[in-house]
Amino acid sequence: FERLTDGAGHDTFPAWSNDGRTIAFPSVRGDDKAEWLARIYLMDTDGGNLRPVTAGPDDWGVTFSPRDDAIAYGKWGDDDIGVYVTDLGADRHTRITDRGTAAMDPSWRPVGDTIAYTSDRAGSYDLHTMAHDGAHLQALTDRRASDGGASWHPRADAVAFVSYGEG
């Protein structure tokens, strides 16, 4: 094991790019520590070339697109809990979920443009999928239990997830 970050921040939940050359992760650094405000950072796999890709605050749960040209992440602000996509080449940040419902924990399908995520749009936390632009919304679960933490199988034909409670 080798430590890749310098300890200057609270670095959590890393995600590998599909080509294995880049790592994305949420981090709380510098003045942001006082209010616990996270941004998404990218770095090379040797720990070099560290750079922020979101302005925050409260950006968590990052996943790479199949082509590694974009990331999806959850924003957990007081009035803005949703899933965003950042085009890494254009530095364009787009909210892809509706306002008024909580949406978080995106997981990009290994092929194509589908993102699985957790949302409370039906009253309890369930898994949903949508296209990378927010179109083609579909519920995967509809249960009393809270479902989340979606992770696609590498063949992209199944989703593993965690279920909290009965239902």
Q: Determine the pLDDT at residue 33.
A: 58
Looking at residue 134, its amino acid is G
Count other Cβ atoms within 10 Å, centred on residue 48.
8
Q: Determine the pLDDT at residue 84.
A: 94
Q: Determine the pLDDT at residue 31.
A: 67
Helix, strand, coil proportions of the chain in percent (round to 5)?
5, 50, 50
**pLDDT truncated to tens, each residue of the chain (167 aa)?**
788 887 777 888 899 999 999 999 999 887 655 666 889 999 999 999 999 999 888 899 999 999 999 999 999 876 778 999 999 999 899 999 988 788 899 999 999 889 999 998 878 899 999 999 999 999 999 888 899 999 999 999 999 999 987 65
How far apart, in whole angstroms, are the C-alpha atoms of residue 77 and residue 81?
Answer: 6
Q: Phi first, then psi: what are they for 146, rounded to 5°?
A: -90, 125
Looking at residue 123, its amino acid is G
129, 76, 125: which is closest to 106 by C-alpha?
129
CA dihedral 27, 114, 86, 74 (to 10 degrees): -40
How far apart, in whole angstroms, are the C-alpha atoms of residue 14 and residue 36?
Answer: 18
Q: Copy the structure tokens of residue 121.
A: 């749009």
State how far the alpha carbon of 105 is from the alpha carbons of 2, 55, 90, 120, 139, in Å: 27, 18, 23, 12, 15
Q: Determine the pLDDT at residue 108.
A: 96
Q: State the pTM of this model.
A: 0.90
How far apart, in whole angstroms, are the C-alpha atoms of residue 88 and residue 41?
Answer: 12
Q: Tell me if 126 sits within 8 A of 139, measured CB to CB.
A: yes
Q: Determine the pLDDT at residue 149.
A: 92
Q: Determine the pLDDT at residue 167.
A: 54
